[in-house]
Amino acid sequence: MITPWGEHELTRFPEDPRDPLRAWDAADEYLLRHLATIGDLDLSGTVVVTGDRWGALTTALAEHHPVQISDSFLAQEATRANLTRAGLAPDSVRLLSTRDEVPERVDVLLVRVPKSLGLLEDQLQRIAPSLHPGTVVVGAGMVKEIHTSTLDLFERILGPTKTSLAEKKARLIFTTVDPELTRPRNPWPLTYSLELGIGPASGLAVTNYAGVFCADRLDIGTRFLLQHLPERTGPDQVVDLGCGNGIVGTAAALANPQARVTFVDESHPAMASAEATFRMCAGPDREAEFRLGDGLADFPPGSADLVLNNPPFHTHQATTDRTSSRMFADARTALREGGELWVVGNRHLGYHEKLRRMFGHCDVMASDPKFVVLRAVKRAR
């Protein structure tokens, strides 16, 4: 990426030489170009960057010691790797998650517009008290990511807002902070109750922090999995892989009082949501583990009895099936012999083919016109 601050080689995380997707885009470049044209811009105060997908903005501006606020473990790892590649010490910037306290005073706020409107709303709400009338606020996104509702959030939470002309299908957002503005109440986290008739999760209250998958309603794929969870007893080690708000793992824990569930996700809001959902539904004393990380990459091999998975098929705006492939392969390693991986997915995603290749077989446990629940058992090779 060529910027007014220099040229950087950037990659996503985990690094995959076959990945044709770049770690930055025209919106990142536009934002950096624009900053360099603001004659009296003072970057010596606290510069906060949110929504920086793979650390491109944070790396480019590293000499100004920005504070990055991210909802994603993968984005934070990418940032660390990109800083190191650029010969910069990882501690030249501060990496905060959406669960951390926001810096008390913010002088420059750079917002890479996230895909989730709820995440943007919560981020702006949490940062707003740290802004002052002199804070420079610039947002950036691809044209297709910026809607009237996006601008409305800047306008209602921070102050008067306008946009730039589009360049290479990217657009900037300029907001003047209005300290007199009466901000609406921050609705996050959201809690909703599940309907009846969906197995052990029926009627449960689910907590959703901003940015978690399907934050305001139950996903139809998740519902299908909940309706067809395996019926098991005994001291199972269960993994809710890509747990989101944790409802699948919580249902498995309620269905089997002896099971010990590990919730795994790369998203900070997912971890917060899963902890809250599990505690609310299973009580304060039930044991569980909450692991933020890249799938099961660091999970003890051969230790899981059951892995439950509703895999992601989007990485930011791009459709990719790499994550599901890695999740299935890592699940196989994590399972003990005889252990089972249960996967729900849209029929057209072809997960059964992948599972058959990796596990040597795959059973269809439930199906409807849209979804399938698949089971793959780890057998000795």
Query: What residues make contact with ligand SAM under the rule CB under 6 A?
Result: 74, 213-214, 219, 222, 242-244, 247-248, 264-267, 270, 294-295, 310, 312, 323
Q: How far is the CB of 218 from ligand SAM (least distance, A)?
A: 8
Nearer to ligand SAM, 8 or 80 (CB): 80
Could you tell me the smallest distance in angstroms from the CB atom of residue 63 to ligand SAM?
Answer: 30
How deeply is 320 buried, as exposed, middle or buried, from its count of CB atoms within 10 A (0-12, 13-18, 19+)? middle
Residues 6+ apart with CB under 8 A from 35: 4, 41, 110, 138
- Minimum CB separation from ligand SAM for residue 219, in Å? 5
Beta carbon of residue 199, minimum distance to ligand SAM (angstroms, whole number) = 13
Q: Which is nearer to ligand SAM, 43 or 214 (CB)?
A: 214
From 151, 149, 23, 147, select the one nearest 85 (Cα to Cα): 23
The whole-angstrom separation of Cα 154 and Cα 143 is: 16
CA distance 167 to 170: 5
Nearer to ligand SAM, 127 or 247 (CB): 247
Nearer Cβ to ligand SAM (8/12): 12
224 three-class SS:
helix
Secondary structure of residue 191 in the 3-state scheme? strand
Residues facing 318 on adjacent strands = 315
State in Å, rounded, how far the first CA of the chain is from the last one: 45
Q: Which of 213, 279, 175, 196 is nearest to 71 (CA)?
A: 213
Token representation of residue 28: 């990142």
Question: Minimum distance between the CB of residue 277 and ligand SAM, rounded to whole angstroms?
Answer: 10
Q: How far is the CB of 200 from ligand SAM (least distance, A)?
A: 14
55 vs 244 by CB, closer to ligand SAM: 244
A 10 A CB-CB count for 203 gives 11
Please report how close the Cβ of residue 270 comes to ligand SAM at its closest, in angstroms: 4
DSSP codes of every residue in 26-70: HHHHHHHHHHHH-TT---SS-EEEE--SSSHHHHHTGGG--EEEE
Instruction: Give the residue with the Cβ less far from ligand SAM, 200 or 312.
Output: 312
* 95 vs 247 by CB, closer to ligand SAM: 247
